[in-house]
Chains A and B, each alone.
Chain A
Amino acid sequence: MIATLRIQRGMPGAPPEETDFEVPFEPGQSVLDGLRWIRREADAGLAFRYSCLNANACKECMLLVDGKVGYACTLRLEARVMRLAPLPNKKLIRDLVTAIAPPDERLDRIAAGPKGPEA
């Protein structure tokens, strides 16, 4: 059986494209398992964000699955077409990655030196 992940890809400012990836389906897998399979077997450059793999501890893998917000690590892969897209209300970085860090932990906001903002 096959799960088809239809993934919205692209950079900010360009029209997004959808790419289909066919992933071997095993019952019990998570959507994140499918995304990691794609990186190993099809396209290592696919951009998505994750850290803790499986535990729903880091909360980094949040995305849109079939139009609803969810975590890739806790949503089950299903043997059908599943549409994945980046979070719509966050700044797009690339593919499924959006800027989810608090503003003061991001490069464009933090100061270069300890005394005041960067010149």
Chain B
Amino acid sequence: MREFQTQVLVIGAGGAGMSAAIAAARAGAEVLLLDRSLIGRGGATVMAQMTVAAAVGPPGTDHWEFHWRDTLAAGRGLCDPALARLLCEEGPDAIREMDGWKVGWARDGAHLRAVQAPGHDRARCVYVDFLSTGPAVSKTLRGVVQRTPGIRRLGDALVVELVRDGGAVTGAVALDVETGQPLLIGAAATIIATGGLTTLYARNSASANMIGDGYALALRAGAALIDMEFVQFFPIGHLAPRLIGMDPIMWDPFRYKLGGRLLNGAGEEFLSAYGTAEQDRYVVTRDLATYAITREVEAGRGSPAGGAWLSFRHVPDATLREAFGPVIDRLAANGIDLTRQDIEVAPIAHYHMGGIRVDTAMATGVPGLFAAGEAVGGANGANRLSGNAITEALVFGRVAGRSAAARGAGAPLDRTAAAPALTLVEGVGPACNTAALLARLQAAMARDVGPFRTAAGLLRALDAVAALRAELPALPPGAPRPHDLARQDWFDLRQGMLVAEAIIRAALARTESRGAHQREDFPGMDDGWACNQAITLGEAGLAIARRAVAA
């Protein structure tokens, strides 16, 4: 069995993980950066199309405090103000640092070009043309990681459990995907940068490897999760016709640049009926648009595939080409001509506001354990503002890296503490179609734990998770062998079921509607619920506690 010793272990090599690795190494620490996929290729950052929010406008045009105000307003009273402030205040520096690394932000002369995304009070969202923000950010960070001394990188390493010694996290057990064998990693500090949980839902906009495993790692290590009921659905995910080789959230940049018209199945504008008329400008926030589209579909006014129409037919071809040049050709290759046809869109799981509870040093409260990026909860409250996710990844990654580096050198790993997890990785279980079980989990979550929830639906989802848990064998199917997705799915189910239960229980408890959490049986915000819910894992299972929103 391969064993590693490092000062700082970073789990996940998306935007947050790579930022954390760079910051930790610059602070003098020796870093091991892992990803379950390939370094800088998996996760959500590479999938981001646009945009990145930060108050980077010319002097006098914007200030981080305005960005902060908008972030808190979008969070519907549940943001941790200090975390939101950190995101907004350090955001501009992170964006300029990326500019210095030649990420290629779109510019107007000396200034970065910015668009005004819904929920922002002014143009504040920078981007890389065309639909290339995420790939450019990933590629740039990947290059810096490679050039920074002190960072070892390892792909195809799926961390299945954190190891604890006397209450502190002292390392991790991972599955080496290539061989199927375990890896043992000792670390003075561990940073969870595994992103969100969108893979729990059948239709989602992120990579296949985001089942929420980082949340489960944190829970099992004794950390608390917060705001788990708040899953953001992206309202206009591509639905039809079938489009390949393009990210389903690609229509967002089209909306920023060209407006576009959202129409119901009858071809009528409908947002005004929900109090959010657009007049060819893209102003409606994600939670409201998701609500309006879902309600139209439920009322029998959906598009044929069960969503809404998005129309750019009023936009001249020359304007389309100027705004999206090469993308128009990629659409043509898919048989889509926006000057002649509308496309169908529908809400799609996109981002998780909730996550691991941390302080402004990204410390979880469990000694040696930190978190960064989407894995963190609190900065975005009940609803995330467009453009805050990459900023959050970059800023929280830097902070987590510095904090982790300050822990110094660690002691060698206690192998006794690692033994239970090693038993799982080396275990030989009965045959089981884990891919089918995972699809059932995704279907149950999509049906009953989507943007609109009822007590009956949530209880049905809880039953579905319990049934899956009863069906899943105690060990992964078959014997360890190279690149076995069936065994990987077993580990994803083990973690994903725990995280799904955390979402469902938090959603059941919150008997009101707020931001991304809408209860059909409890419509409207209730001032009595202006609080967060924290979840921990104990001997008796998950425990939920209400907590006052941080001051």
A59 to B41, CA, bound (A): 8
Q: Is the CB of B482 within 8 A of A94?
A: yes
Q: How far is the CB of A77 from chain B (nearest CB, A)?
A: 10
A100-B38, A106-B155, A110-B152 given; A51·B208 CB < 8 A: yes
Q: Is the CB of A73 within 8 A of B245?
A: yes
Contact of A45 among B2, B39, B246, B485 (CB under 8 A): B485
- Count residues on chain A whose CB falls below 8 Å from chain B CBs: 48
Q: Which of A86-106 contact B (CB under 8 A)?
A: 93-95, 97, 99-102, 104-106
For A114, the chain B residues whose CB sits under 8 A away are 5-7, 30, 150, 152
A6 to B41, CA, bound (A): 28
Whether a CB of chain A sits under 8 angstroms from the CB of B169 is no
Q: Is the CB of A105 within 8 A of B38?
A: yes
A99 to B42, CA, bound (A): 16
- What total count of A-B pairs have CB within 8 Å? 143
Q: Is the CB of B38 within 8 A of A47?
A: no
List 10 other contacts, CB 8 Å, given A50-B208, A101-B156.
A44-B434, A44-B477, A54-B246, A58-B38, A58-B46, A60-B41, A106-B154, A110-B152, A113-B5, A114-B150
Binding site for A on B (CB under 8 A): 2-7, 30, 37-39, 41-42, 46-47, 134-135, 150, 152-157, 176, 178-179, 183, 207-209, 241-248, 432-436, 439, 477-478, 481-486, 489
For B208, the chain A residues whose CB sits under 8 A away are 50-53
Binding site for B on A (CB under 8 A): 11, 26-30, 36, 39-41, 44-60, 71, 73-74, 76, 93-95, 97, 99-102, 104-107, 110-114
Can you name 22 A-B residue pairings with CB atoms under 8 Å? A26-B242, A30-B244, A41-B436, A44-B432, A45-B477, A47-B482, A47-B485, A51-B41, A51-B209, A52-B208, A53-B208, A57-B46, A57-B47, A57-B247, A58-B38, A58-B207, A101-B39, A105-B38, A105-B154, A107-B176, A110-B154, A114-B152
For A59, the chain B residues whose CB sits under 8 A away are 41
In the A-B complex, the 4 residue pairs with the closest CB atoms: A28-B242, A114-B30, A74-B245, A55-B247
For B2, the chain A residues whose CB sits under 8 A away are 107, 112
Among A27, A49, A74, A105, residue most surrounded by chain B Cβ atoms (within 10 Å): A105
A40-B436, A97-B482, A100-B38 given; A105·B248 CB < 8 A: no
Q: Is the CB of A60 within 8 A of B485?
A: no
Q: How far is the CB of A19 from chain B (nearest CB, A)?
A: 16
Q: Is the CB of A58 within 8 A of B41?
A: yes
